[in-house]
A and B are shown apart, each in its own frame.
Chain A
Amino acid sequence: MTIQESVLRYGDSPWQRVDLYVPAEGPARSAAVIFHGGFWRHDRIARDLEPLAVALVRRGCATAVVEYRPAWDGGLWPAAAEDARTALGRLDAGGAPWQDATIVGHSAGAHLALSAVAGQGAGRRVVLLAPVVELAYAAAAEVGGKAVGHFLAGHLAAGGTAEEATPRPSQADLASLTVFEAACDQAVPAELTEHQLSGWRERGLVTDHHVVPDARHMHLVNPERDGCAPVLTLLAGAPVSAEGSVS
């Protein structure tokens, strides 16, 4: 299978772009828009998710990987969340296959994925992988070290709170909410995941929760690892096609 690669730019910063991967032959069977993690400071970048995108396209799932500004280069809250919303809006405006895509967020990218869909009332399918969303809890637990404090620095200095920067999607925003937890996650503690899940359930958001045995934090987005298999199956729902090239 040949994979067609292109870039959608949605702002002036080099970070404000979406890397698009689609099957060259015929329409995709499904689509995913992915927000990478990296604690809003880009310990990981969109480029790092290219193997995942290629694996998804080979299974018939068109994939968009959203890049956005890191906290140290223009992305302090709320700018990175605004980037996420703008990027998703631009993709949706382009029509098929993106307007029906599943929205995926890995790690801190889950915070941006939910920020992008919250308040839109668009009924999106959302899949969160090892999510870091509840910022007050994450800051107190020092998830990502001082990352939350750095991300919210300007907001907190102006008297804002971490609560205000935590997305609160409604039932109208979500068609479904699925959470994958890595059983051996070294970056996101199980207590944070449980705290987030109970909060979403209390608010009536139907939540599927899967614990991936033996998986570490990055395994969920690394198609070379067994821990990524259930994610690939959920997003693409199809076996891999023949090996191919990227164009």
Chain B
Amino acid sequence: MTSLTTDRTQAAVSLMESLPAVNWDDIESAAEVTERIAHRLGDDPELLNTLVERVRYTPELREKCECHALDDKIVIWDDQEKGLRIRLRLANTDQYERVHNHRYSFTAYILSGAYRHTLYATDQPLDETADVERFWPYFVREEPQGRCITLDHEQLHTTITEPETISLMIQSPARKSRAFMIRRADGHVWWRLGAAEESEERRREVRMTDERFEHWIGRLKALGVL
């Protein structure tokens, strides 16, 4: 690394260390703080680039970078004590309607692309006995580039995105051990566990390869995110 790069990295780390502890128990308060953090980072491509480049030689972050069926993710900061895991969500394909909640509350800042965002209500238990016909959309909104949204971990929703929709995500520590998911098209109901509860085999499956990591850095630069 050049001394300029080192200086930039040190400045970026110092800024990240100065971020606050987030009170996720009060979602309105958490939204106010995390949406400003999201803007502070997302509106500064050079800073974001420095943080993403740092992931390459920060093994504890690099090993958290993953590829999933619909999204890839690059984790750029993880401070569980302050309630701050910050990552890029990278939509990798056309999405389908997969109603889900989360293990954590979060703020998403859309840096490129857009979501069609739908919130759902249900009278069903959130387990294998759920009748997928009884999940009703009650709020549908286009979330354009530049929009910030904050969601409680219990909220059922879908975000349908175009490929390469990029979001900066700030998420709370886990609030529960597994997230609930349904696919309305075929009635499939399943769960997503946290990394700590996944098998070694599953961890190997989802870990982002170096090739994929480089692909995303190139695409993020081309999209003007970095």
Q: A residues engaging B (CB < 8 A)?
A: 14-15, 38-39, 41-45, 47-48, 70-73, 146-147, 150-151, 153
Q: How far is the CB of B48 from chain A (nearest CB, A)?
A: 15
Task: Please tell me if the beta carbons of B40 and A72 are within 8 angstroms of each other in the complex.
Answer: yes
Given contacts A14-B36, A15-B36, A47-B32, contact A70 B20 (CB under 8 A): yes
Interface flag for B198 (CB, 8 Å): no
Task: Please tell me if the beta carbons of B21 and A73 are within 8 angstroms of each other in the complex.
Answer: no
Given contacts A14-B36, A15-B36, A73-B36, contact A42 B26 (CB under 8 A): no
Query: With A and B bound together, what is the CA distance between A15 and B15 in angstroms?
Result: 18
B interface, by DSSP: helix, strand, loop or mixed? helix
Residues in A neighbouring B21, C-beta threshold 8 A? 43
Query: With A and B bound together, what is the CA distance between A39 and B18 in angstroms?
Result: 10
Task: Please tell me if the beta carbons of A73 and B32 are within 8 angstroms of each other in the complex.
Answer: no
* 7 closest A-B pairs by CB: A150-B18, A41-B20, A42-B20, A43-B21, A72-B18, A43-B20, A47-B29
Knowing that A15-B36, A150-B14, A150-B17 touch, tell me 6 more A-B residue pairs with CB under 8 angstroms. Answer: A14-B36, A41-B19, A41-B20, A42-B20, A42-B33, A72-B37
Which partner residue on chain A sits nearest B21 by CB separation? A43
Given contacts A15-B36, A42-B33, A45-B33, contact A72 B28 (CB under 8 A): no
Q: How far is the CB of A224 from chain B (nearest CB, A)?
A: 14
Residues in B neighbouring A150, C-beta threshold 8 A? 14, 17-18
Q: B residues engaging A (CB < 8 A)?
A: 14-15, 17-21, 23, 26, 28-29, 32-33, 36-37, 40
Q: Among the listed B18, B19, B29, which residue makes an inter-chain contact with A45, where contact means beta carbons less than 8 Å apart?
A: B29
Which partner residue on chain A sits nearest B26 by CB separation? A48
Task: Please tell me if the beta carbons of B29 and A153 are within 8 angstroms of each other in the complex.
Answer: no
Q: How far is the CB of A120 from chain B (nearest CB, A)?
A: 29
Given contacts A41-B20, A43-B21, contact A73 B40 (CB under 8 A): yes
Residues in B neighbouring A48, C-beta threshold 8 A? 23, 26, 29
Task: Please tell me if the beta carbons of B32 and A72 are within 8 angstroms of each other in the complex.
Answer: no
Residues in B neighbouring A70, C-beta threshold 8 A? 20, 36
Task: Please tell me if the beta carbons of A47 and B20 are within 8 angstroms of each other in the complex.
Answer: no
Most chain-A CB neighbours within 10 Å: which of B14, B17, B20, B40?
B20
Residues in B neighbouring A41, C-beta threshold 8 A? 18-20
Residues in B neighbouring A15, C-beta threshold 8 A? 36
Query: With A and B bound together, what is the CA distance between A15 and B26 in angstroms?
Result: 18
* Pairs across A and B, CB under 8 Å, 20 listed: A15-B36, A38-B20, A41-B18, A42-B20, A42-B33, A43-B20, A43-B21, A45-B29, A45-B33, A47-B29, A47-B32, A70-B20, A70-B36, A71-B18, A72-B19, A72-B20, A150-B17, A150-B18, A153-B14, A153-B18
Which partner residue on chain A sits nearest B35 by CB separation? A14
Given contacts A15-B36, A41-B20, contact A72 B29 (CB under 8 A): no
Q: How far is the CB of B207 from chain A (nearest CB, A)?
A: 31
Residues in A neighbouring B26, C-beta threshold 8 A? 47-48
Residues in A neighbouring B36, C-beta threshold 8 A? 14-15, 70, 73
Which partner residue on chain B sits nearest A42 by CB separation? B20
Which partner residue on chain A sits nearest B19 by CB separation? A72
Q: How far is the CB of A155 from chain B (nearest CB, A)?
A: 14
Q: How far is the CB of A193 from chain B (nearest CB, A)?
A: 22
Residues in A neighbouring B20, C-beta threshold 8 A? 38-39, 41-43, 70, 72
Residues in B neighbouring A14, C-beta threshold 8 A? 36
Query: With A and B bound together, what is the CA distance between A14 and B38 in angstroms?
Result: 14
Which partner residue on chain A sits nearest B18 by CB separation? A150
Residues in B neighbouring A45, C-beta threshold 8 A? 29, 32-33
Residues in A neighbouring B28, C-beta threshold 8 A? 47
Q: How far is the CB of A132 from chain B (nearest CB, A)?
A: 15
Query: With A and B bound together, what is the CA distance between A44 and B26 in angstroms?
Result: 11
Which partner residue on chain B sits nearest A72 by CB separation? B18
Residues in A neighbouring B37, C-beta threshold 8 A? 72-73
Query: With A and B bound together, what is the CA distance between A15 and B36 in angstroms?
Result: 9
Which partner residue on chain A sits nearest B16 by CB separation? A72
Query: With A and B bound together, what is the CA distance between A153 and B18 in angstroms?
Result: 10
Q: How far is the CB of B205 from chain A (nearest CB, A)?
A: 36
Q: How far is the CB of A148 from chain B (nearest CB, A)?
A: 11
Residues in B neighbouring A39, C-beta threshold 8 A? 20
Most chain-B CB neighbours within 10 Å: which of A14, A15, A72, A153?
A72
